[in-house]
């Protein structure tokens, strides 16, 4: 097992190399002069030259890439063209917010999606099955921004029961330890903050989690239906096991394998969804950060953020693969 993980980590090196080359190329693939598109049409030639000098855009690509890769390896992502702030620090400040939101959305999606999928499969063609699968079909096709805006309109504007933006209310004190606010409020036993943070998480969490929830529910249902037909389920029945043991142990552990693959993929895609969700709910994470950077043509920020997102994506995939092996004993580690 340890050997397997080590080997997978080694295999990450070429992947990360590829990712870094791609993000590096980004700035040069965009048509036109990068310096000009960052500073705008009205910039003077001397301003442009200064920026080119700053970013080293006059050097040969290979030298530029060497510098880019070298500083990444030292944890230095450069600085923002607009605010001159250190990008590494900015990202580290925002990453916990995004992670908290995506993990929350994913926990929501996985728990509700799997439960709905299992019940729908066990009670195939029942009203629950029909209702939840129709809901799931809508769920996958709902545009996040529409869902987000509708929730804000209904829960914040009409009913005024959920906050429309941010991670925490201004009047709430919270000692940050991990910068995962939900976790911090639990650690410090601060229940007022916990309630407040949770109320901030619900709408963006639902907006972000709906699509993966719908996909997970459908996948779980079809996987469960397949598994319930298997011979070993008949064996479990013939042994006199109770229904819940058969469904939630014997069937679900087998049915979970294809669902796990989907979860891994959706987790990666969630980071894309986070850009929209964070923008709608003014969530102070890297999704909103990259959105603002794109709008402001702050290429170094865009580059670095995409790199980070890609790295997270790769790591999530690695974790999925490792979990897969944990759940399926038939796969050998060699």
Partner 1 sequence: MKEETPILEVKQLHTHFFTKAGVVKAVDGVHFDIKPGETLGIVGESGSGKSITAMSIMRLIPSPPGKIVDGQVLFKGENLLNKSEKQMRKIRGKEISMIFQDPMTSLNPVFTIEKQMVETILVHENLNKQQARNRAVELLELVGIPEARGRLKNYPHEFSGGMRQRVMIAMALACNPEVLIADEPTTALDVTIQAQILELLAKLQKELGMAIIMITHDLGVVSEVCDRVMVMYAGKPVEYTDKKSLFKQPKHPYTLGLMNSIPKISAKKEKLEAIEGLPPDLRALPGGCSFAPRCSQATEICLTTDPVLIEHGNNHHVRCLLYEEETEKVVSE
Residue of 60, 31, 33 whose CA lies nearest to 48: 33
| Smallest separation, CB 6 to partner 1 (Å) | 24
234 near partner 1, rule: CB under 8 A? yes
* Number of chain positions touching partner 1 (CB under 8 A): 20
Q: How far is CA 92 from CA 58, 75, 127, 274, 293, in A?
A: 30, 11, 47, 16, 16
Cα separation, 160 vs 135, whole angstroms: 26
- Using CB under 8 A as the binding rule, whether residue 50 contacts partner 1 is answered as no
Binding residues among 237-266 for partner 1 as defined by CB under 8 A: 237-242, 245, 250, 253-254
Min dist. Cβ of residue 228 to partner 1 (A):
10
> Integer distance in angstroms from the first to the last C-alpha of the chain?
9
- By CB under 8 A, is residue 327 in contact with partner 1? yes
Give me the least distance between CB of 35 and partner 1, in Å please: 57
As measured in angstroms, the least distance from the Cβ of 16 to partner 1 is 33
Is residue 334 part of the contact set for partner 1 (CB under 8 A)? no
3-state secondary structure string across 71-126? HHHCCCCCECCCCCCEHHHHHHHHHHHHHHHHHHHHHHHHHHHHHHHHHHHHCCCC
Q: Is 154 in the site for partner 1 (CB under 8 A)?
A: no
In the complex, what is the shortest distance from the CB of residue 1 to partner 1, in angstroms, rounded to a whole number? 15
Cβ contact 189:199 at 8 Å: no
For partner 1, which residue of 10, 46, 330, 334 counts as binding (CB under 8 A)? 330
Q: Which stretch binds partner 1 (CB under 8 A): 140-148, 157-165, 184-192, 323-331?
A: 323-331
The Cα 49–Cα 235 span in angstroms is: 75
Among 50, 165, 222, 230, binds partner 1 (CB under 8 A): 230
Closest to partner 1 by CB, 28 or 253:
253
Shortest approach of partner 1 to residue 2 CB, angstroms?
19
- Go through 60-86 and write b for each residue having 16 or more CB atoms within 10 A of its CB, e for each that does not: eeeebbeebeeebeeeebbbbbeeeee
Q: Which is nearer to partner 1, 223 or 254 (CB)?
A: 254
* Residues forming the site for partner 1 (CB under 8 A): 230-232, 234-242, 245, 250, 253-254, 327-330
């Amino acid at each position: 097992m340890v050997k397997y993980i080590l080997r997978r980590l080694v295999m990450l090196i070429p992947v990360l190399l590829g990712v870094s080359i791609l993000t590096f190329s980004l700035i040069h693939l965009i048509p036109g002069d990068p310096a000009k598109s960052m500073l705008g049409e009205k910039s003077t030639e001397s301003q442009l030259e200064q920026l080119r000098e700053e970013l080293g855009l006059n050097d040969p690509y290979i030298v530029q890439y060497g510098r880019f890769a070298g500083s990444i390896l030292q944890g230095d992502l450069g600085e923002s063209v607009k605010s001159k702030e250190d990008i590494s620090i900015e990202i580290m400040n925002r990453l916990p917010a995004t992670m908290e939101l995506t993990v929350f959305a994913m926990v929501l999606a996985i728990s509700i999606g799997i439960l709905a999928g299992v019940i729908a499969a066990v009670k195939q063609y029942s009203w629950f099955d029909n209702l939840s699968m129709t809901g799931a079909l809508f769920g996958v096709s709902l545009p996040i921004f529409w869902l987000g805006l509708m929730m804000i309109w209904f829960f914040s504007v009409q009913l005024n029961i959920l906050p429309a933006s941010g991670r925490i209310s201004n009047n709430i004190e919270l000692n940050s330890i991990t910068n995962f606010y939900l976790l911090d409020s639990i650690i410090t036993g601060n229940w007022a903050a916990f309630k407040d943070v949770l109320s901030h998480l619900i709408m963006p969490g639902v907006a972000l989690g709906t699509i993966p929830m719908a996909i997970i529910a459908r996948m779980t249902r079809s996987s469960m239906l397949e598994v319930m037909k298997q011979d070993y389920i008949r064996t479990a029945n013939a042994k006199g096991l109770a229904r819940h043991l058969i469904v939630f142990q014997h069937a679900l552990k087998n049915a979970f394998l294809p669902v796990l693959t989907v979860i891994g993929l959706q987790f990666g895609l969630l980071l894309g969804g986070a850009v929209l969700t964070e923008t709608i709910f003014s969530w102070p994470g890297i999704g909103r950060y990259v959105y603002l950077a794109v709008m402001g043509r702050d290429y170094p920020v865009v580059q670095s953020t995409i790199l980070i997102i890609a790295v997270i994506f790769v790591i999530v995939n690695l974790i999925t693969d490792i979990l897969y092996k944990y759940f399926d004993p038939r796969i050998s580690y060699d």
